[in-house]
Amino acid sequence: MSRSTRLLDLIQLLRTYRRPVSGAALAQRLGISIRTLYRDIATLQAQGADIQGAPGFGYVLRPGFLMPPMMLSEEEIEALVLGARWVAARTDDDLKDAARNALAKIAAVLPTDLRHELETNSLLVSSVRKPVVGTTDLSVVREAIRQGLKLDINYADINGSPTSRRIWPFALGYYEETRVLAAWCELREDFRHFRAERIASMTVTNIRVPRKRQHLLAEWRRVHNVKNDM
């Protein structure tokens, strides 16, 4: 691999990381020595890439570098289409439409041959029946999460007895058989998980989650030591 292609690869590699990544890790993925990596980083910085490196931390590429990314590869298109198909097959109609629309927008910017690749993509997802979610409209939940609004729910707890709670929703887990809403529960003053099909009814309040707690997902990740960021 020539140096020029490697530099492009390096930019793309940096783009895929959000948290700082060590030079050693980058060098290993690129198959070069650390020394050479430092030189490559320096070259990119000289060309205007806003790469921040701090001792003991690693590197982060700050967005807005003048070079837009290269076009999607065939494999990347396959990954997106496969993912969209899973969403279409396994979630609800709103997300399904969203997935279709997203693909259409992506298709619109693809050159002809890649658009063809997208349209004739041959990775399929099994289409078994969808999980039961009861009467809960998950698109409402997603909207509440985005807006950072509290929810009032009537929930059947593990014994089946109904309880009413005010919760601060922050994530929605898509499992094979069920949907789980992760939230901060005002009643218990702790993180709680709620199965969608056990939510009897739900009202979106117009009360915002307090500013201090707006990163509940990150907080929850720390508490549960969840690593995977993808």
14-73 residues near DNA, rule: CB under 7 A: 21-24, 31-36, 38-43, 53-59
Which residue lies nearer to DNA by CB, 22 or 154? Answer: 22
Q: Does 94 bind a copy of itself (CB under 8 A)?
A: yes
| Closest separation in Å from C-beta 17 to DNA | 11
Helix axis angle, 34-46 to 23-30, nearest 10°: 100
Please give the Cα distance from 8 to 30 (Å, whole number): 11
In the complex with a copy of itself, the residue whose CB is nearer, 27 or 84, is: 84
CB of 111 to DNA, least distance (A): 18
Q: Which residues fall within 8 angstroms of residue 140, CB to CB, at 6 or more apart?
A: 202, 204
CA atoms within 13 A on the CB side of 186: 14
Q: Rounded to the nearest whole angstrom, what is the least distance from the CB of residue 162 to a copy of itself in the complex?
A: 27
161 binds, among a copy of itself, DNA, none (CB under 5 to 8 A by kind): none
The end-to-end CA distance of the chain, in Å, is: 28
Amino acid identity of 158?
I
Pair 94, 139: CB distance under 8 Å: yes
Question: What is the closest distance, in whole angstroms, from the C-beta atom of residue 14 to a copy of itself in the complex?
Answer: 9
DSSP string computed for 190-230: EEEEEEGGGEEEEEEEEEEPPGGGTTHHHHHHHHHT-----
User: 130 is in the binding site of which of a copy of itself, DNA, none (Cβ under 5 to 8 A by kind)?
Assistant: none
Task: Compare residues 122 and 206 and give the one whose CB is closer to a copy of itself.
Answer: 122
Distance CA 12, CA 209 (A): 36
Binding mask 137-156 for a copy of itself (x = CB under 8 A): --x--x--xx----------
Q: Is position 101 an interface residue for a copy of itself (rule: CB under 8 A)? A: yes
Work out how close the CB of 84 gets to DNA at its nearest, in angstroms, rounded to a whole number: 26
